[in-house]
Structure formats: C-alpha cells, structure tokens
Structure 1
Amino acid sequence: MISPIIKRNGINYGVVTGIILSLITAVIYAIDIELFLSFWTTLLSLSAFIIITVILLMQTKKQVNNQLSFKEAFTAYFICSLIGIALLVGFKMLLFNIIDPSLKDTLLELTVKYLKDTSNKYGVSASTLNEMITNLRKNDPFSIAEQLKGGFINLFFACILGLIMAFIFKTKNTSQDN
C-alpha cells in the first residue's frame, strides 16, 4: 500500500513537472522553433526535471519524519515522473498534431538541414546521410506514435535516474529497505 504522503506528493509534483516542461516547450515554440533542436534547451528541461524531483524527495522525506525507504523514495519519484512525462507528451502531441501540424514539417526540414551540416563537419558519407534522411522522413519523429515511443524512452531513463536518487534520499538503515 502506498502511503498517502508519497502518493499525494508524487501526483502534485508530477503535475507541476508536466506543467513546467510543457511551458518550456510552449516558450520555445513562441520564441524560435529552431530552439527545439538546441542542446541547451534540452539541458534546461532536464535541469528543471531534476530540480523538481530533488525538491519532491526532500519535501517527502521531511514530511515522513526523515524515515524514507528506498521503495518509498522511488515510488514518489516514479509517480511524479510518470505524470510529468505523460503531461509533456500529451502537450507535444497536441502541439505537433492539432495546434500546429505544419510545425512537424518545419522541424523535420530543420532537422534534415542540421543533419547535413553536422555530417559535412564529421565526414559522414553521402550514402549514409541519405539513408539517415530517408529513415527520418519515413518515421515522422513528431507523430503521435513516435511521441508515445519517446515518452516511454524518457520514462525508462527517468527510472534509472530515479533509482540513483532513491538511493541518495533513502534513510539509512530503515526497516522497510530490502
């Protein structure tokens, strides 16, 4: 059974995470769509995610009188991650497929241009580059299916980070740890 504090905090911080990550995406969309391809905007989203989950675990540990097991820490983190990623994926699906479907084509062309520029810098052969571009165009990275797939991949990596964070935030020698 999940503790009400763990569940409540996971849900609340998950909603906050989803809203903040969606706002970052909306601001990128409003300012300059080329920022979708920028490494630092990805780093900004990842930093926001980590900061929120650290605050979640600190607050949760405080609310349970500093008695937080590994399982409880991971559960709070997982609930938060699941909700936050689901909200972000939902927002991106709306943005790319309903709000502005032409954005997909624009981003795809920007991605192809970026691939060509990067490939020229690193000496990638023309046949390899053409194959990469063909696969990119065929798979539509902004489709609903690809957004869902990306969400599951993000959740997988979030779980790995969550295991590390749960280990860091767990109370040493709790009787609930296995």
Structure 2
Amino acid sequence: MINEIIKRNGVTFGVLSGIVSALITATIYAVDLNLFVSWWIGVVSILIYLVLGIVLLSKTKKEMNGLFVFKDAFTTYFISAVIGIAIGTAFNILLFNVIDPSAQDTLKEITIKNAVAMMQKFNSPAAAINEMIAKMKENNPYSVVELLKGSIFSMVFSAIIGLIMAAFFKSKSQE
C-alpha cells in the first residue's frame, strides 16, 4: 500500500506537470509552430520538469520527516511523471488529431526543412539527404499511435531520471 503523502504529492505534481506540458504546447502552437523543432525549447522544458521533480521530492521528504527510502522517492517521482505524461499526451492527441490535424503536415514540413539544413551544414551527400527526406515523409510523429509510442519512451526516460533523483533524495542510512 502506498503512503498517503507519496500518493497525494505524486498525483498533485503529476497534474501540475501535465498542465505545464499542455500550456507549453499550447503556447508554442499559438506563437509559432517553428518553436516545436527548436532545441532550446526542449532544453527549457526538461529543466522545468527537473525543477518540478526536485520540488516534489524535497516537499515529500520534508513531509515524511526526513524518512524517505529509495523506493518511496522513486514511487513519488514516477507517479508524478506518469500522470504528467498522460495529461500532456492526451492534450497533444487532442490538439494535433482533433482540433487542428493540418498542423501535423506543417510540422512535418518544418522538421524536414530543419533536418535538411542541418545535414547540409555537415556536408552530407545529396543521396543521404534524399533518403532521410523519404523516411521522414513516411513517418507522422503527431499521429495518435506515434504520440502514444512517444509517451512510452518518455516514461522510460522519466524512470531513469527518477532512479537518479531517488538515489539523491533518499534518506541517508542511520548505521
């Protein structure tokens, strides 16, 4: 059975991170679709989620009176991550497959254009660039199936981050 503090904080911060994810996506969508392929947006997003995780684990450890074993720390973080990813993915599915499906094509064009520009910077051969373009045109990263696959990858990545953060935030042994 999961401790009530762990459950409450995990769910609360999970909903918070899901709302933050949806707001980031909605803001980027409203401002400029080109920002979806901007590397610095990805870095800022990861930093936001790391800060939320640190606040979550610090708050939970304090509420547990400093008795925060590795399993509890990981469970707290992972509950939050799964809920946040689920909310963010649901929002993306709704936005890109119900509200504005045409944004998928626009984003695919932007992604291809940026990938070609990067490959040209590295003097990639034209054949390699053409092959990459063909593969990218076959794939639709904003389809429901691809967004769900991406959420599974995000959960695995979050589990790894959660393991690292749990190791850092766990209580020191009293031996």
Normalised by the length of structure 1, the TM-score is 0.95
Uncovered stretches (5+) of structure 2, i.e. residues with no partner: none
> After superposition, what is the alpha-carbon deviation per residue over 1:16-64, rounded to whole angstroms, capped at 9, x for unaligned?
0000111011111111110000011111111111111110000000101
The equivalent of 1:89 in structure 2 is: 89
Bigger shift: 71-80 or 121-130?
Answer: 121-130
Q: Secondary structure at the match of 1:124?
A: coil
**Letter paired with 2:145:** A
> After superposition, what is the alpha-carbon deviation per residue over 1:86-142, rounded to whole angstroms, capped at 9, x for unaligned?
111111111111111110000101111111111110011222222221111112111
Partners of 1:27 and 1:102 lie apart in 2 by 17
Partners of 2:17 and 2:109 lie apart in 1 by 30
Normalised by the length of structure 2, the TM-score is 0.97
The equivalent of 1:138 in structure 2 is: 138
Matching of residues 27-46 of structure 1 within 5 Å: 27-46=27-46
Matching of residues 1-178 of structure 1 within 5 Å: 1-173=1-173
Aligned-residue Cα RMSD (Å) equals 1.1
> After superposition, what is the alpha-carbon deviation per residue over 1:127-175, rounded to whole angstroms, capped at 9, x for unaligned?
2222221111112111111111111111111111110000000001169
Detail structure 1 runs of 4+ shifted over 3 Å in the superposition: none
Tell me, yes or no, if the aligned pair for 1:21 and 1:48 is still in contact at 8 Å.
no
**Letter paired with 1:105:** D
Partners of 1:36 and 1:141 lie apart in 2 by 12
**Letter paired with 1:88:** G
Partners of 2:170 and 2:112 lie apart in 1 by 45
Tell me, yes or no, if the aligned pair for 1:69 and 1:174 is still in contact at 8 Å.
no
**Letter paired with 2:144:** I
